[in-house]
Structure 1
Amino acid sequence: MLQACLNGSRTRSDHPAVPLTPEEIADDAEKAVRAGAAELHIHVRCERGDESLEAADVARTLLAVRGRVPGVPIGISTAGSFLPGSGAKMRLLRSWQVLPDYVSINIHEADAEWMIAAALEQGIGVEAGLCGEADAERFAAMPGCGSCLRVLIGIHEPDQGRESAVVRRIRKVLQRSGCALPVLLHGSDRTMWPMYIEAMLQGLGGRIGLEDGTMLLSGIAAKDNEELIRTAKLIEGRF
Protein backbone atom coordinates (compact mmCIF):
# COMPACT_ATOMS: atom_id res chain seq x y z
CA MET A 1 0.00 0.00 0.00
CA LEU A 2 1.35 3.41 -1.00
CA GLN A 3 0.25 6.37 1.10
CA ALA A 4 0.73 9.91 -0.22
CA CYS A 5 1.69 12.51 2.41
CA LEU A 6 0.86 15.73 0.65
CA ASN A 7 2.07 18.65 2.78
CA GLY A 8 3.02 18.10 6.42
CA SER A 9 4.34 21.20 8.16
CA ARG A 10 6.21 22.37 5.07
CA THR A 11 5.62 25.78 3.53
CA ARG A 12 6.10 27.25 0.07
CA SER A 13 9.61 28.23 1.09
CA ASP A 14 10.38 24.51 1.36
CA HIS A 15 8.84 23.73 -2.03
CA PRO A 16 6.64 25.90 -4.27
CA ALA A 17 4.18 23.04 -4.89
CA VAL A 18 3.28 22.35 -1.24
CA PRO A 19 -0.56 22.36 -1.15
CA LEU A 20 -2.09 24.51 1.59
CA THR A 21 -5.70 25.43 0.81
CA PRO A 22 -8.48 22.81 0.69
CA GLU A 23 -8.69 23.27 -3.08
CA GLU A 24 -4.94 22.82 -3.56
CA ILE A 25 -4.91 19.77 -1.31
CA ALA A 26 -7.88 18.27 -3.16
CA ASP A 27 -6.19 18.88 -6.52
CA ASP A 28 -2.97 17.24 -5.32
CA ALA A 29 -4.94 14.37 -3.82
CA GLU A 30 -6.62 13.63 -7.14
CA LYS A 31 -3.30 13.68 -8.99
CA ALA A 32 -1.62 11.49 -6.36
CA VAL A 33 -4.40 8.90 -6.51
CA ARG A 34 -4.31 8.93 -10.29
CA ALA A 35 -0.54 8.34 -10.06
CA GLY A 36 -1.05 5.28 -7.85
CA ALA A 37 -1.52 6.36 -4.22
CA ALA A 38 -4.01 4.19 -2.31
CA GLU A 39 -4.40 6.45 0.74
CA LEU A 40 -3.81 10.06 1.72
CA HIS A 41 -2.20 11.68 4.75
CA ILE A 42 -2.91 15.39 5.19
CA HIS A 43 -2.00 18.21 7.57
CA VAL A 44 -5.08 20.43 7.66
CA ARG A 45 -4.49 24.18 7.32
CA CYS A 46 -6.55 27.19 8.31
CA GLU A 47 -7.23 30.12 5.99
CA ARG A 48 -3.87 31.70 6.98
CA GLY A 49 -2.07 28.54 5.94
CA ASP A 50 -1.18 27.48 9.50
CA GLU A 51 -1.78 23.92 10.69
CA SER A 52 -5.16 23.47 12.32
CA LEU A 53 -7.44 20.92 13.94
CA GLU A 54 -10.42 23.27 14.14
CA ALA A 55 -13.64 21.53 13.14
CA ALA A 56 -14.41 23.99 10.34
CA ASP A 57 -10.94 23.64 8.80
CA VAL A 58 -11.07 19.84 9.05
CA ALA A 59 -14.52 19.78 7.44
CA ARG A 60 -13.56 22.10 4.56
CA THR A 61 -10.49 20.05 3.73
CA LEU A 62 -12.08 16.62 4.00
CA LEU A 63 -15.13 17.61 1.96
CA ALA A 64 -12.97 19.14 -0.75
CA VAL A 65 -10.76 16.05 -1.00
CA ARG A 66 -13.62 13.55 -0.86
CA GLY A 67 -15.34 15.46 -3.60
CA ARG A 68 -12.38 14.71 -5.87
CA VAL A 69 -11.40 11.20 -4.72
CA PRO A 70 -14.51 9.56 -3.24
CA GLY A 71 -13.83 6.31 -1.43
CA VAL A 72 -10.10 6.90 -0.93
CA PRO A 73 -9.12 6.66 2.78
CA ILE A 74 -7.99 10.01 4.19
CA GLY A 75 -5.97 10.46 7.36
CA ILE A 76 -4.98 13.66 9.11
CA SER A 77 -2.16 14.48 11.48
CA THR A 78 -2.77 15.25 15.15
CA ALA A 79 0.82 16.29 15.91
CA GLY A 80 0.73 18.55 18.94
CA SER A 81 3.47 21.02 18.08
CA PHE A 82 1.05 23.78 17.04
CA LEU A 83 -1.47 23.40 19.89
CA PRO A 84 -1.27 24.78 23.46
CA GLY A 85 -1.91 21.45 25.20
CA SER A 86 -3.32 17.96 24.99
CA GLY A 87 -6.65 19.01 26.49
CA ALA A 88 -7.21 21.45 23.65
CA LYS A 89 -6.30 18.81 21.09
CA MET A 90 -8.78 16.27 22.47
CA ARG A 91 -11.55 18.88 22.68
CA LEU A 92 -10.97 19.76 19.04
CA LEU A 93 -11.02 16.11 17.96
CA ARG A 94 -14.33 15.57 19.76
CA SER A 95 -15.78 18.67 18.07
CA TRP A 96 -15.32 17.35 14.53
CA GLN A 97 -18.54 16.90 12.59
CA VAL A 98 -16.86 15.63 9.43
CA LEU A 99 -14.55 12.76 10.35
CA PRO A 100 -11.40 11.51 8.66
CA ASP A 101 -11.01 7.78 8.06
CA TYR A 102 -8.07 7.76 10.45
CA VAL A 103 -5.73 10.01 12.39
CA SER A 104 -1.99 9.68 12.94
CA ILE A 105 -0.99 9.84 16.61
CA ASN A 106 2.66 10.04 17.67
CA ILE A 107 3.20 7.59 20.52
CA HIS A 108 6.07 9.66 21.97
CA GLU A 109 3.62 12.47 22.78
CA ALA A 110 2.49 12.51 26.40
CA ASP A 111 -1.21 12.37 25.57
CA ALA A 112 -1.00 9.49 23.09
CA GLU A 113 -3.13 7.08 25.15
CA TRP A 114 -5.88 9.66 25.59
CA MET A 115 -5.82 10.70 21.95
CA ILE A 116 -6.09 7.07 20.83
CA ALA A 117 -9.05 6.50 23.15
CA ALA A 118 -10.76 9.72 21.97
CA ALA A 119 -10.30 8.83 18.30
CA LEU A 120 -11.57 5.27 18.72
CA GLU A 121 -14.59 6.54 20.67
CA GLN A 122 -15.41 8.77 17.68
CA GLY A 123 -15.15 5.82 15.31
CA ILE A 124 -11.95 7.15 13.75
CA GLY A 125 -9.14 4.75 12.87
CA VAL A 126 -5.73 5.25 14.46
CA GLU A 127 -2.33 5.09 12.80
CA ALA A 128 0.16 4.80 15.69
CA GLY A 129 3.44 6.57 14.96
CA LEU A 130 6.61 4.92 16.32
CA CYS A 131 10.15 6.25 15.99
CA GLY A 132 12.04 3.75 18.14
CA GLU A 133 11.93 0.72 20.42
CA ALA A 134 10.77 2.79 23.41
CA ASP A 135 7.73 3.93 21.42
CA ALA A 136 7.02 0.33 20.46
CA GLU A 137 7.22 -0.81 24.10
CA ARG A 138 4.90 1.97 25.21
CA PHE A 139 2.41 1.31 22.43
CA ALA A 140 2.34 -2.44 23.07
CA ALA A 141 1.47 -1.77 26.72
CA MET A 142 -1.42 0.58 25.91
CA PRO A 143 -4.97 -0.68 26.46
CA GLY A 144 -6.71 -1.04 23.13
CA CYS A 145 -3.55 -0.93 21.01
CA GLY A 146 -4.87 -3.90 19.04
CA SER A 147 -7.90 -1.84 17.99
CA CYS A 148 -5.73 0.56 16.00
CA LEU A 149 -5.63 0.54 12.22
CA ARG A 150 -1.89 0.15 11.78
CA VAL A 151 1.57 1.04 13.03
CA LEU A 152 3.48 3.82 11.29
CA ILE A 153 7.24 3.43 11.74
CA GLY A 154 9.22 6.57 10.98
CA ILE A 155 13.02 6.52 10.63
CA HIS A 156 14.16 10.11 10.26
CA GLU A 157 17.87 10.19 11.11
CA PRO A 158 20.39 8.69 8.66
CA ASP A 159 22.63 6.14 10.38
CA GLN A 160 25.16 5.01 7.77
CA GLY A 161 22.98 2.30 6.29
CA ARG A 162 21.88 0.84 9.64
CA GLU A 163 18.35 2.28 9.52
CA SER A 164 16.88 -1.08 8.49
CA ALA A 165 18.23 -2.67 11.69
CA VAL A 166 16.24 -0.14 13.71
CA VAL A 167 13.10 -1.08 11.80
CA ARG A 168 13.66 -4.76 12.53
CA ARG A 169 14.20 -4.10 16.25
CA ILE A 170 10.97 -2.12 16.43
CA ARG A 171 9.09 -4.90 14.68
CA LYS A 172 10.57 -7.50 17.04
CA VAL A 173 9.25 -5.55 20.04
CA LEU A 174 5.80 -5.54 18.46
CA GLN A 175 5.97 -9.22 17.55
CA ARG A 176 7.03 -10.21 21.09
CA SER A 177 4.01 -8.35 22.45
CA GLY A 178 1.67 -10.16 20.07
CA CYS A 179 0.91 -7.00 18.07
CA ALA A 180 -0.01 -8.13 14.56
CA LEU A 181 -1.13 -4.79 13.13
CA PRO A 182 -0.14 -3.88 9.56
CA VAL A 183 2.99 -1.73 9.31
CA LEU A 184 3.62 1.32 7.15
CA LEU A 185 7.27 2.44 6.98
CA HIS A 186 8.54 5.88 6.04
CA GLY A 187 11.49 8.22 6.33
CA SER A 188 12.09 11.91 5.82
CA ASP A 189 14.43 13.84 3.55
CA ARG A 190 17.62 11.72 3.36
CA THR A 191 15.87 8.61 4.68
CA MET A 192 12.69 8.93 2.60
CA TRP A 193 13.76 6.83 -0.38
CA PRO A 194 15.91 4.34 1.60
CA MET A 195 12.95 3.63 3.88
CA TYR A 196 10.57 3.33 0.95
CA ILE A 197 12.87 0.77 -0.64
CA GLU A 198 13.18 -0.99 2.73
CA ALA A 199 9.38 -1.13 2.92
CA MET A 200 9.30 -2.85 -0.46
CA LEU A 201 12.00 -5.32 0.64
CA GLN A 202 10.14 -6.18 3.85
CA GLY A 203 6.71 -6.33 2.23
CA LEU A 204 5.41 -3.33 4.20
CA GLY A 205 3.34 -0.33 3.24
CA GLY A 206 5.26 2.76 2.15
CA ARG A 207 4.73 6.51 2.25
CA ILE A 208 5.96 9.21 -0.14
CA GLY A 209 5.13 12.89 -0.63
CA LEU A 210 6.30 16.44 -0.08
CA GLU A 211 5.80 16.11 3.68
CA ASP A 212 8.55 13.50 3.81
CA GLY A 213 10.87 14.82 1.13
CA THR A 214 11.11 17.07 -1.88
CA MET A 215 13.77 15.23 -3.90
CA LEU A 216 13.49 12.44 -6.42
CA LEU A 217 15.62 9.32 -6.04
CA SER A 218 17.99 10.85 -8.60
CA GLY A 219 18.70 13.79 -6.27
CA ILE A 220 16.78 16.24 -8.47
CA ALA A 221 14.00 18.31 -6.93
CA ALA A 222 10.58 16.85 -7.66
CA LYS A 223 8.08 18.97 -9.54
CA ASP A 224 5.24 18.06 -7.17
CA ASN A 225 3.57 15.23 -5.24
CA GLU A 226 2.40 13.58 -8.43
CA GLU A 227 5.96 13.14 -9.68
CA LEU A 228 7.04 11.69 -6.33
CA ILE A 229 4.19 9.17 -6.38
CA ARG A 230 4.87 8.17 -9.97
CA THR A 231 8.52 7.57 -9.06
CA ALA A 232 7.47 5.46 -6.07
CA LYS A 233 5.23 3.32 -8.28
CA LEU A 234 8.07 2.78 -10.73
CA ILE A 235 10.25 1.55 -7.85
CA GLU A 236 7.44 -0.65 -6.56
CA GLY A 237 7.22 -2.30 -9.95
CA ARG A 238 10.79 -3.58 -9.58
CA PHE A 239 9.91 -5.69 -6.52
Structure 2
Amino acid sequence: MIQVCLNGPRAAAGSGAVPMSPAELADAARRAVAAGARDVHVHPKSPCGRDSLSARALTPVLEAIRAVVDVPVGVTTGAWAEPDPDRRVARIRSWDVLPDHASVNWHEPGAEAVAEALLERGVGVEAGIWSGTDGPARFAASPLGPRVLRVLAEVTDSDAGSAARTARGLLDALAAYGAHGRPVLLHGEDGGAWPVLRLAGELGLDTRIGIEDTLFLPDGVPAASNAALVSAAFAATGLLPGSG
Protein backbone atom coordinates (compact mmCIF):
# COMPACT_ATOMS: atom_id res chain seq x y z
CA MET A 1 0.00 0.00 0.00
CA ILE A 2 1.22 3.47 -0.86
CA GLN A 3 -0.06 6.33 1.27
CA VAL A 4 0.09 9.89 -0.05
CA CYS A 5 1.21 12.61 2.39
CA LEU A 6 -0.23 15.72 0.79
CA ASN A 7 1.45 18.68 2.45
CA GLY A 8 3.01 18.18 5.90
CA PRO A 9 4.20 21.22 7.81
CA ARG A 10 5.44 22.83 4.58
CA ALA A 11 4.19 26.27 3.60
CA ALA A 12 3.19 27.42 0.14
CA ALA A 13 6.22 29.70 0.09
CA GLY A 14 8.45 26.63 -0.03
CA SER A 15 6.95 25.33 -3.27
CA GLY A 16 4.03 26.11 -5.51
CA ALA A 17 3.18 22.40 -5.40
CA VAL A 18 2.15 22.47 -1.71
CA PRO A 19 -1.66 22.27 -1.39
CA MET A 20 -2.98 24.36 1.49
CA SER A 21 -6.71 25.10 1.30
CA PRO A 22 -9.43 22.44 1.66
CA ALA A 23 -10.19 22.72 -2.07
CA GLU A 24 -6.53 22.36 -3.03
CA LEU A 25 -6.07 19.41 -0.68
CA ALA A 26 -9.17 17.70 -2.04
CA ASP A 27 -7.99 18.10 -5.62
CA ALA A 28 -4.51 16.82 -4.70
CA ALA A 29 -6.03 13.83 -2.90
CA ARG A 30 -8.32 13.02 -5.83
CA ARG A 31 -5.44 13.05 -8.30
CA ALA A 32 -3.15 11.05 -6.01
CA VAL A 33 -5.79 8.37 -5.44
CA ALA A 34 -6.41 8.21 -9.18
CA ALA A 35 -2.66 7.59 -9.54
CA GLY A 36 -2.90 4.65 -7.13
CA ALA A 37 -2.59 5.96 -3.55
CA ARG A 38 -4.73 3.93 -1.16
CA ASP A 39 -4.54 6.13 1.94
CA VAL A 40 -4.27 9.88 2.58
CA HIS A 41 -2.31 11.73 5.27
CA VAL A 42 -2.93 15.46 5.57
CA HIS A 43 -2.02 18.42 7.78
CA PRO A 44 -4.96 20.82 8.12
CA LYS A 45 -3.86 24.46 8.22
CA SER A 46 -4.87 27.59 10.08
CA PRO A 47 -5.70 30.71 8.02
CA CYS A 48 -2.07 31.79 8.38
CA GLY A 49 -0.80 28.50 6.99
CA ARG A 50 0.36 26.77 10.17
CA ASP A 51 -0.50 23.18 11.07
CA SER A 52 -3.58 23.14 13.27
CA LEU A 53 -5.51 20.57 15.31
CA SER A 54 -8.57 22.77 15.73
CA ALA A 55 -11.94 21.50 14.55
CA ARG A 56 -12.34 24.67 12.48
CA ALA A 57 -9.28 23.70 10.45
CA LEU A 58 -9.82 19.95 10.39
CA THR A 59 -13.51 19.66 9.53
CA PRO A 60 -13.53 21.46 6.15
CA VAL A 61 -10.43 19.56 5.04
CA LEU A 62 -11.88 16.16 5.88
CA GLU A 63 -15.23 16.99 4.31
CA ALA A 64 -13.62 18.28 1.12
CA ILE A 65 -11.34 15.27 0.71
CA ARG A 66 -14.03 12.70 1.52
CA ALA A 67 -16.29 14.26 -1.10
CA VAL A 68 -13.87 13.16 -3.83
CA VAL A 69 -12.12 9.99 -2.56
CA ASP A 70 -13.24 6.77 -0.89
CA VAL A 71 -9.98 5.79 0.84
CA PRO A 72 -9.04 6.31 4.53
CA VAL A 73 -8.00 9.86 5.44
CA GLY A 74 -5.69 10.58 8.36
CA VAL A 75 -4.25 13.68 10.02
CA THR A 76 -1.26 14.67 12.11
CA THR A 77 -1.23 15.27 15.87
CA GLY A 78 2.37 16.52 15.85
CA ALA A 79 3.46 18.51 18.89
CA TRP A 80 4.52 21.41 16.66
CA ALA A 81 0.82 21.98 15.90
CA GLU A 82 -0.05 22.12 19.62
CA PRO A 83 2.92 21.88 22.02
CA ASP A 84 0.89 21.45 25.21
CA PRO A 85 -0.19 17.78 25.58
CA ASP A 86 -3.34 18.64 27.54
CA ARG A 87 -4.44 21.10 24.88
CA ARG A 88 -3.65 18.52 22.20
CA VAL A 89 -5.99 16.05 23.90
CA ALA A 90 -8.64 18.77 24.31
CA ARG A 91 -8.44 19.54 20.61
CA ILE A 92 -9.02 15.87 19.74
CA ARG A 93 -12.02 15.71 22.05
CA SER A 94 -13.47 18.81 20.35
CA TRP A 95 -13.46 17.33 16.84
CA ASP A 96 -16.96 17.11 15.40
CA VAL A 97 -15.82 15.30 12.24
CA LEU A 98 -13.36 12.47 12.84
CA PRO A 99 -10.50 11.30 10.63
CA ASP A 100 -10.10 7.59 9.95
CA HIS A 101 -6.71 7.66 11.64
CA ALA A 102 -4.15 10.06 13.10
CA SER A 103 -0.40 9.84 13.55
CA VAL A 104 1.05 10.09 17.07
CA ASN A 105 4.80 10.56 17.41
CA TRP A 106 5.73 8.28 20.29
CA HIS A 107 8.84 10.23 21.33
CA GLU A 108 6.81 13.41 21.93
CA PRO A 109 5.60 14.38 25.40
CA GLY A 110 2.01 13.31 25.95
CA ALA A 111 1.99 10.65 23.21
CA GLU A 112 0.21 8.07 25.36
CA ALA A 113 -2.56 10.49 26.37
CA VAL A 114 -3.00 11.66 22.78
CA ALA A 115 -3.22 8.09 21.50
CA GLU A 116 -5.67 7.16 24.23
CA ALA A 117 -7.90 10.11 23.37
CA LEU A 118 -7.93 9.07 19.72
CA LEU A 119 -8.72 5.45 20.52
CA GLU A 120 -11.52 6.50 22.86
CA ARG A 121 -13.12 8.33 19.93
CA GLY A 122 -12.71 5.39 17.56
CA VAL A 123 -9.91 6.99 15.53
CA GLY A 124 -7.15 4.65 14.36
CA VAL A 125 -3.64 5.47 15.59
CA GLU A 126 -0.51 5.43 13.45
CA ALA A 127 2.34 5.10 15.95
CA GLY A 128 5.04 7.42 14.61
CA ILE A 129 8.42 5.91 15.48
CA TRP A 130 11.25 8.19 14.37
CA SER A 131 14.83 7.18 13.83
CA GLY A 132 17.27 8.76 16.27
CA THR A 133 14.73 8.83 19.12
CA ASP A 134 13.73 6.59 22.00
CA GLY A 135 10.47 5.90 20.19
CA PRO A 136 11.05 2.14 19.67
CA ALA A 137 11.66 1.50 23.37
CA ARG A 138 8.79 3.73 24.51
CA PHE A 139 6.40 2.11 22.06
CA ALA A 140 7.46 -1.40 23.07
CA ALA A 141 6.60 -0.56 26.69
CA SER A 142 3.24 0.97 25.84
CA PRO A 143 0.06 -0.90 26.79
CA LEU A 144 -1.58 0.83 23.84
CA GLY A 145 0.79 -0.81 21.34
CA PRO A 146 -1.45 -3.75 20.42
CA ARG A 147 -4.33 -1.37 19.71
CA VAL A 148 -2.68 0.87 17.11
CA LEU A 149 -3.53 0.63 13.43
CA ARG A 150 0.06 0.52 12.23
CA VAL A 151 3.60 1.60 13.03
CA LEU A 152 4.70 4.60 10.98
CA ALA A 153 8.48 4.08 10.86
CA GLU A 154 9.94 7.47 9.89
CA VAL A 155 13.56 7.81 8.84
CA THR A 156 14.70 11.33 9.65
CA ASP A 157 18.12 10.87 8.05
CA SER A 158 17.77 12.98 4.90
CA ASP A 159 21.11 11.94 3.37
CA ALA A 160 20.56 9.82 0.26
CA GLY A 161 23.73 7.86 0.91
CA SER A 162 22.90 6.72 4.42
CA ALA A 163 19.10 6.85 4.75
CA ALA A 164 18.52 3.22 3.75
CA ARG A 165 21.11 2.11 6.30
CA THR A 166 19.39 4.21 8.95
CA ALA A 167 16.07 2.66 7.91
CA ARG A 168 17.43 -0.84 8.45
CA GLY A 169 18.66 0.23 11.87
CA LEU A 170 15.22 1.56 12.76
CA LEU A 171 13.58 -1.67 11.62
CA ASP A 172 16.11 -3.66 13.65
CA ALA A 173 15.28 -1.56 16.72
CA LEU A 174 11.58 -2.19 16.23
CA ALA A 175 12.25 -5.91 15.92
CA ALA A 176 14.49 -5.94 18.99
CA TYR A 177 12.15 -3.99 21.23
CA GLY A 178 8.95 -5.38 19.76
CA ALA A 179 6.33 -3.67 17.62
CA HIS A 180 3.32 -5.48 19.13
CA GLY A 181 2.84 -7.35 15.86
CA ARG A 182 1.46 -4.27 14.13
CA PRO A 183 2.03 -3.70 10.40
CA VAL A 184 4.83 -1.27 9.51
CA LEU A 185 4.72 1.60 7.03
CA LEU A 186 8.29 2.69 6.27
CA HIS A 187 9.15 6.07 4.78
CA GLY A 188 11.88 8.68 4.59
CA GLU A 189 12.08 12.41 4.02
CA ASP A 190 13.81 14.86 1.71
CA GLY A 191 17.01 13.28 0.33
CA GLY A 192 16.23 10.01 2.05
CA ALA A 193 12.68 9.69 0.73
CA TRP A 194 13.42 7.70 -2.41
CA PRO A 195 16.11 5.35 -1.03
CA VAL A 196 13.84 4.46 1.90
CA LEU A 197 10.82 4.02 -0.37
CA ARG A 198 12.78 1.62 -2.57
CA LEU A 199 13.86 -0.32 0.52
CA ALA A 200 10.25 -0.56 1.66
CA GLY A 201 9.36 -1.99 -1.73
CA GLU A 202 12.17 -4.55 -1.50
CA LEU A 203 11.02 -5.62 1.96
CA GLY A 204 7.34 -5.77 1.04
CA LEU A 205 6.38 -3.04 3.51
CA ASP A 206 3.74 -0.35 3.12
CA THR A 207 5.24 3.04 2.35
CA ARG A 208 4.28 6.61 1.56
CA ILE A 209 5.26 9.49 -0.66
CA GLY A 210 4.05 13.03 -1.21
CA ILE A 211 4.91 16.69 -0.93
CA GLU A 212 5.34 16.33 2.84
CA ASP A 213 8.26 13.94 2.38
CA THR A 214 9.91 15.30 -0.77
CA LEU A 215 9.56 18.06 -3.33
CA PHE A 216 11.51 16.12 -5.97
CA LEU A 217 11.08 13.17 -8.28
CA PRO A 218 13.74 10.42 -8.21
CA ASP A 219 15.72 12.12 -10.99
CA GLY A 220 15.93 15.37 -9.01
CA VAL A 221 13.33 17.23 -11.06
CA PRO A 222 10.87 19.25 -8.92
CA ALA A 223 7.58 17.40 -8.54
CA ALA A 224 4.61 19.17 -10.06
CA SER A 225 2.12 17.40 -7.80
CA ASN A 226 1.47 14.68 -5.27
CA ALA A 227 0.04 12.56 -8.09
CA ALA A 228 3.34 12.75 -9.96
CA LEU A 229 5.16 11.54 -6.84
CA VAL A 230 2.71 8.66 -6.39
CA SER A 231 3.16 7.58 -10.01
CA ALA A 232 6.94 7.73 -9.60
CA ALA A 233 6.66 5.66 -6.41
CA PHE A 234 4.92 2.84 -8.24
CA ALA A 235 7.62 2.92 -10.90
CA ALA A 236 10.37 2.91 -8.26
CA THR A 237 8.95 -0.04 -6.31
CA GLY A 238 7.69 -2.10 -9.23
CA LEU A 239 4.23 -2.22 -7.66
CA LEU A 240 1.12 -1.80 -9.76
CA PRO A 241 -1.51 0.83 -8.91
CA GLY A 242 -4.30 -0.89 -7.03
CA SER A 243 -2.00 -3.53 -5.54
CA GLY A 244 -1.55 -3.85 -1.78
Q: What TM-score comes out, normalization by structure 2 length?
A: 0.92
Q: Could you say which residue in structure 2 is the equivalent of 1:16?
A: 16
2:233 equivalent in structure 1: 232
Cα-Cα RMSD: 1.7
Moved more, 186-195 or 39-48: 39-48
Show the counterpart of 1:191.
192
- Displacement, 1:214? 0.4
In the alignment, the residues of structure 2 paired with residue 60 and residue 160 of structure 1 have an alpha-carbon distance, to the nearest angstrom, of 36
2:110 — aligned with what?
111
Mapped contact 2:53–2:92 kept (Cα < 8 A): yes
Further displaced range: 171-180 or 202-211: 171-180
The amino acid that maps onto 1:125 is G
CA-CA distance at 1:171 after TM superposition:
2.8
Q: Secondary structure at the match of 1:13?
A: helix
Shift of 1:108: 1.1
- Residue 217 (str. 1) matches residue 194 (str. 2): no
Unaligned 5+ segments in structure 2 are none
Number of matched pairs:
238
CA separation in 1, counterparts of 2:179 and 2:47?
44
Q: CA deviation at 1:25?
A: 0.3
Query: Which stretch has the larger CA shift, 131-140 or 208-217?
Result: 131-140
Tell me how far apart the structure 2 counterparts of residues 76 and 6 of structure 1 sit (CA, whole Å). 10
Q: 1:188 to 1:97 in 2, by over 3 A?
A: same
- Give the Å deviation of 1:165: 3.8
Distance 1:163 1:11 in 2: 25
Aligned CA distance change for structure 1 residues 47 and 180 (closer, same or farther; 3 Å): same
Counterpart Cα distance in 1 of 2:189 and 2:83: 26
Residues 43 and 178 (structure 1), Cα distance of their counterparts in 2 relative to 1, 3 Å cut = closer
TM-score by length of 1: 0.94
The amino acid that maps onto 1:117 is E
Alignment partner of 1:171 is 2:171 = yes
CA pair 76-178 structure 1, distance change in 2 beyond 3 A: closer
Distance change in 2, residues 1:236/1:38 (3 Å):
same
Q: Mapping of 1:1-239 within 5 angstroms? A: 1-70=1-70, 72-132=71-131, 134-158=134-158, 161-176=161-176, 177=178, 179-237=180-238
8 A Cα contact 1:155 1:186, kept in partner: yes
Matches of 1:117 and 1:153 in 2, distance apart? Answer: 20
